[in-house]
Structure formats: C-alpha cells, structure tokens
Amino acid sequence: MKNERVKRTLSGLIIIAVTFPILFFTDTLVITGYMTFVASVGTFELLRCCNLNKWYIVIPAEIIVIVSHFICRLRLFGLKDLTADKLLVIYAFMAALFILYMFTLSVFIPGKFNIETNGFASLMFLYVLAGTLAPVMLSELPNGAFDFPLIFISAWMTDWFAYMIGSKLGKHKLCPTISPKKSIEGAVGGIIGNVVGFAIYAVVLAIFFPQIKPNYIPLFIAAIVLSVVSQLGDLFMSLVKRRFNIKDFGKMIPGHGGILDRFDSITAVSIVIFIFYSAFKFSRGF
C-alpha cells in the first residue's frame, strides 16, 4: 500500500510538473499539441476497452481527433471569424459522421459489432473529444486564459485531498459497488481541498495581475460544484471499467493506469466549466 501511494504521488507530481508550464502557453499550439496527445491516447484506450480497437475504427476516430483540435486553433493561423458557435457546428457534424459510421458497422456486420457497444463507444468517444477540446476552446474566450487553470486545479486538488484524507480518515464507503476504496470522508476532503486551491489561485492572481478582480462568491460556489463534478467523472470512468472488466484503461502512468485513468476528472470538469462559462457565466469568477 505504501509503495503504491509513493508511486501514485510521484507520477502525479511528474504530470503536474509537465502540465503546469503548459498552462502559460494557452495562446500557442503547445496546449493544442498536449491536449491532442491526451485525446489521441485516450481515444485508443477507450476503443480498446470496448474491444473496438480495429484499424478501420481507430484510424477514423483518430483523424477526427486530430482534425478537430487543429480546427480549434485556426485563429492562430489568421482565421479570426471562426467563433465558438461555428466550431460547435463543425464538431457536431463530424461527430454525427462518426456515429453514423459506427451504427453502419452494427447494421452490416451484426455478428461482429452490436448496436449497444457501438452506441456506447460512440457516445464515450464524443465525451473524451469534448473533454479535451473544452479546455482549448475555453482559453479562446475572453478572460478564458485565467479560468483555464481552474480545470486542472479542480481535478488535482480534489483528487489529492480526497486520496490523502480518505486513506487516513475514510471509514464510510461512498460507492462500494463502483469504487470500494473511495469514502465519504475523502469526498468531503476533496471538496475542501478544491476550495483551498481556488482561494490560493485567486490570491496569486490578485497579487501578480492587479487588473484582475476575483469574485470570491462565484469562485467558492464553482469550487464546490466542480469538485463534485470531478469526483463524479472519476466514478463514472470507474463504472465503465467495471462494466468491461478491466482494472485500468492502460499502463502509461505508474500508479494511475492510462491517460483516461488520470484525465477522467479533467474531462468531466472541462465540459462543465466550459458550459458554465459560455452559457451561464457561472464559473467566471474573474
């Protein structure tokens, strides 16, 4: 248990060390390359989990991933009028093509592909793609570069505090049939940790960016909501793994598993914070 904790902590610190500097390059292709890598590996892990890692499924899926992330940053190449609304229409069209293709396989090769698995894999593919595009699209919006780090703070602070407090004080199981090791105490600790993380981030911004005026009440509410979303994203992916009888999505990250095991919370938080920002202005605490 101790070795597992050390391995998990070290891997987490390495991921943070690699990711943190990238947060300062949201207006470059650096973040695009990073999220494209996450989306590409995550897509492969997902299709492999569903036993759909055939070349004629993986290749179209990966093409959609790469093209989507490239289109998302066409602004950097001089195309200024490509708004978020237009991007969403493009992504919806591409998603519809992939779903139609997956359903076509179920219709013409029913002995090899069933509609339930293909349908689920299609929706999960859209979930992973949306969860990796949302951070990049958020950074494109006004003041989005300041809200962008909240995605990673939510996932990291929630996960770390939930793990540390849960392992020390956890006595009451949260969802024993899905994730036996998670506890109610850990979940509450994760929420507290995220509130602390948001507060520290707001103070740091206020010091180094005087023009930014943190709105603490929305930030406090967002910290609680996004921590809950982060934990639900983690539990949802745990449910998927149990459904397909696998322990981890991969082995790329020691102590964590695959890309989807590490970015499960980030995917969920990214989608929710982008929706709140663009639709309700809820998460815009600055």
The whole-number average pLDDT for the span 245-254 is 84
How far apart are the C-alpha atoms of 85 and 181, rounded to whole Å?
Answer: 41
Could you tell me what percent of the chain has a pLDDT over 90? 41
Q: 109 in helix, strand or coil?
A: coil
Most confident of 20-29, 86-95, 232-241, 272-281: 232-241
Most confident of 120-129, 134-143, 201-210, 248-257: 120-129
Both tokens of 125, joined, read: 């593919």
The whole-number average pLDDT for the span 32-52 is 93
Q: Band of the pLDDT at 279, cuts 50, 70, 90?
A: low
In the chain, what are the domain boundaries? 2-280
Is there a contact between 121 and 172 (Cβ–Cβ < 8 Å)?
no
Q: What is the pLDDT of residue 79?
A: 67
The whole-number average pLDDT for the span 48-57 is 93
Could you tell me what percent of the chain has a pLDDT over 70? 91
Q: Band of the pLDDT at 281, cuts 50, 70, 90?
A: low
Positive or negative: CA dihedral 118, 119, 125, 128 = negative
Residue 176 has pLDDT above 90, yes or no: no
Residue with tokens 């004080």: 169
Q: What is the pLDDT of residue 283?
A: 43
pTM for this entry: 0.87
Is there a contact between 52 and 118 (Cβ–Cβ < 8 Å)?
yes
What's the mean per-residue pLDDT of the chain?
85
Q: What is the pLDDT of residue 120?
A: 93
Most confident of 58-62, 200-204, 255-259: 58-62
Is there a contact between 106 and 100 (Cβ–Cβ < 8 Å)?
no
Q: What is the pLDDT of residue 231?
A: 95
Residue 125 has pLDDT above 90, yes or no: yes
Q: What is the pLDDT of residue 81?
A: 67
Q: What is the pLDDT of residue 103?
A: 92
Q: Band of the pLDDT at 136, cuts 50, 70, 90?
A: confident
**Candidate from 55-64, 110-119, 276-285 with smallest mean pLDDT:** 276-285
Nearest Cα to Cα of residue 160 among 3, 5, 2: 5
Nearest Cα to Cα of residue 225 among 199, 261, 260, 190: 190
More confident residue, 142 or 132: 132
The whole-number average pLDDT for the span 173-191 is 90
